[in-house]
Amino acid sequence: MVKTGPNGRKARYAWVTVMGISFMLVTGCTLLDNRTDVGTVEPSSSVVKQVNPANVAYKQGEAVTVVSDTPLYIQRVDRREDLDSVKLQSYTTHMEKWKVRSAEGEWIKVQDENRGTVWFPAWYASKESRSIEAVTPQTFKLHPDRKLYLSPGSTTSWPIGAEEAFLIKEWNGWYGVSITPRNWTKNSLDYLPPLLWVKAEDIDQHENIKDGWLQQNSSLTTTSIRHLTYLKFNREETSNQVKRWLGEPDWKEHSSNLSDTGQKMSIGETWRYEREDSQFLVTFTQAGKIARTEWRILQGGQTYSWDKYYFSTGEEYEHTNKTDAKVLPATLPWKPIWTNQGGINYTFLQAANEDVLLMEGDDGGFSGFHYESSMYALDRDSGEKLWEVNAGYGIQQAQMDIEREHVTLFTDYDPVKKGYTDRVRQLRLNDGKVMWGFNPKRGYEVNYITAAKNVVVVDSRLSETSNGGHLSVLNSKNGKILWTRKLNKDYQLLNQRAEDPYVLYWDKGKLTAADPLTGRVVWNIVAKKSTVDHPENNPYFDGIYRKDPFQSAKPERWMLLADQWTLVDLNTGKKREHFAAKQEQQIEVLNDGMVLIRENKHGDQYGEYEDFTTTLYDPQRGQKRWSVNAKIERGLVEGDQVYVIRNGSPAALDYKTGKLRWSVKETLGTVRHLINQGSYTLINDQLLLPTGADLLVFNAQNGELIGRVNDIVTGQPEHRDRQAKNGAINRIGDEVYIGSSNGRFSLYKSQDLLSEMVQ
């Protein structure tokens, strides 16, 4: 099995060690992708080869070739600069050739197509530099009053300070020393280890570095290990080699999808090493080679997360997360009852009956990078896939019938035939058998489908430039047309589920409810066209309602009629409550029917948090209960608390007053523009929320971060906020259904998590 725990250890952070050595000497790897160990180097008193200072004699426009691993600096470095704060742009990954832009002192400046303007010591362009070799890992100390040099024979030198350093190169009685940056990341800039040189005769002591860098008995600091992994890891290293270097991981988990959208899914394995001050993740391909790494470091109250996707020291790091933080989540070994591994990244639960789960798969891509989505069904007891319909990169929609025994699908693209064709068909949920199909009227294109009681409603048009619509209302049992209706320009079809009692549409200044079987008008409401844009037209808005895949919605709905939000009784057409609608305003209906109203004083839904006001509106009393100067979203009411996202951070409010009870802002920080990754789920006093790449567990009473759930990878499903809100995580009784961003969908028992908490 891929899921393993820390050998029964419950005290995950009982070990933090501090290394008390001045310098480290790291060898055994060149800084190339193809590395060769050359054995332990014994510093000797042999005569150091005399090297003439690199007096630059290059002219502007002259061609120069540098060796692999040449340090490229953003600007020239002099002896007044601190060695651990030097701004290094990158290292070369192979021999590279440029034309000299200028030459000053020991430095050459060139213009690189990808890196921009960079400087490097001229010695790296000499023929002598091509005989640099690598040496094996050692710690070392230098004789007193010795210096580090910009390059062998350089006139630029620095006295030895308190910097941690690794020796990584050897050349004719000189050794290359890699200096650990004081800050790896600061002000959104990366600081890479600069490479300097020391004479071999200046080395006083040396000692090999033992393997098992991240094991409990290791004396290495996290900073030292981070530097070691930067120097040693490359794409050709295997999991066996990494295990020798780092030791056994605390956890082994399924990785995120290592392929881009449009390519076959590739799930590797991620190893997690957890310390109190850091976490290190190494992901391997299916062939057992390094695919990526990630450090999560507590550093001055902040967590920096960075990935190194291409493993040679010349490649740049890519920052994937930066959060003000004080803690890192420990892993919780909550084991699933079953897991289904799908072939598309995101897995959302859309609907269910007692035996079958209706699922939606989506690759998460957009703006030309969306290639695949599907609808499929899983056996609720075993997780076995029953059937699947792949929609490729086209439209897909699904509507369950009122008995929840069949699902009607609309797709407009056939990935097998690689062509566009509108298809409306009903499938039996338990086996995928096609029960009937519907072909739109000749010349018409299907916009989308929806449903009402016992019917499927197909909305179609003559062409994209058509000013009106054409409704075909089908009997959900056999697909036969019951009635049709032509609608005028700017019409709106307002049905959402098969539980809707009538076919609902706005046309020519009226909201109309028509009998599903006959088309007879049952009630209507006079309402002008709204001048306010509906918030659900914005793909980033996660929806007014959270839809429960296991239960039917109440027969009432907040609708935008004229310029008012109106709560309409769908059975009678009675307007229960209303309040003024505003441009860029968002409303959210909570699980008890109360309404959160979010407004920005500048009319900008993506504005600064301090410009937002959120109001809790009570529709039964027709009045506002409270208002707070904050952006409050994704509420879950439980007793006298409401769990929310407050100004980008998970939090809890007093439900009666809106006052803050707790927030994890100081623990995990704030995200400026959140994507809904999934809704809150409450299990006794444990509050679950997908956040970043993890499913986090909080103490619901005080907001304490308890940990993250083992082997669940969550992601940022941009433009799929509503699917994530409704389908990423759901609980019914003791059953908890959890989706992921790596094609996995699992059933858990809530009691098992509670048992883990007790232990």
User: What angle in degrees, to the nearest 10, is found between the helix axes of 239-246 and 222-232?
Assistant: 150
pLDDT band at 55, cuts 50/70/90?
A: low
Mean pLDDT of all residues in 493-502: 97
- Assess if residue 152 is contained within a domain: yes
C-alpha span between 557 and 567 (Å, rounded): 5
Tokens 């959302």: give the residue.
348
- Assess if residue 704 is contained within a domain: no
Q: Which of 468, 514, 474, 461 is nearest to 491 (CA)?
A: 468
Residue 606 is part of a domain; what is its CATH number? Answer: 2.40.128.630
622 alpha carbon, distance to own chain's centre: 40
Q: Which of 401, 506, 409 is nearest to 451 (CA)?
A: 401
C-alpha span between 481 and 136 (Å, rounded): 78
Question: Contact at 8 Å (CB) between 436 and 423?
Answer: no
**Domain hosting residue 561, numbered range:** 527-658
Final residue belonging to a domain, choices 208, 241, 257? 208
- Assess if residue 390 is contained within a domain: no
- Assess if residue 307 is contained within a domain: no
Comparing 295 with 162, the larger pLDDT belongs to 295
Model-level pTM? Answer: 0.89
- Assess if residue 107 is contained within a domain: yes
Residue 445 has pLDDT above 90, yes or no: yes
Final residue belonging to a domain, choices 173, 193, 208? 208
C-alpha span between 711 and 267 (Å, rounded): 12
Residue 481 has pLDDT above 90, yes or no: yes
Per-residue model confidence (pLDDT) at position 164: 83
Per-residue model confidence (pLDDT) at position 463: 74
C-alpha span between 485 and 276 (Å, rounded): 65
- Assess if residue 521 is contained within a domain: no
Comparing 758 with 296, the larger pLDDT belongs to 296
Tokens 């969550």: give the residue.
714
Final residue belonging to a domain, choices 189, 208, 227? 208
* Domain count for the chain: 2
Which range (379-383, 463-467, 507-511, 710-714) has the least confidence? 463-467
Q: How far is CA 345 from CA 596, 610, 714, 742, in A?
A: 32, 35, 10, 5
Token duo for residue 721: 């906020």
- Assess if residue 572 is contained within a domain: yes
C-alpha span between 730 and 551 (Å, rounded): 12
pLDDT in tens, 694-711: 999 999 999 999 999 999
- Assess if residue 351 is contained within a domain: no
Residue 650 has pLDDT above 60, yes or no: yes
Q: Could you give the residue ranges of the DSSP H alpha helices within 21-160?
A: none
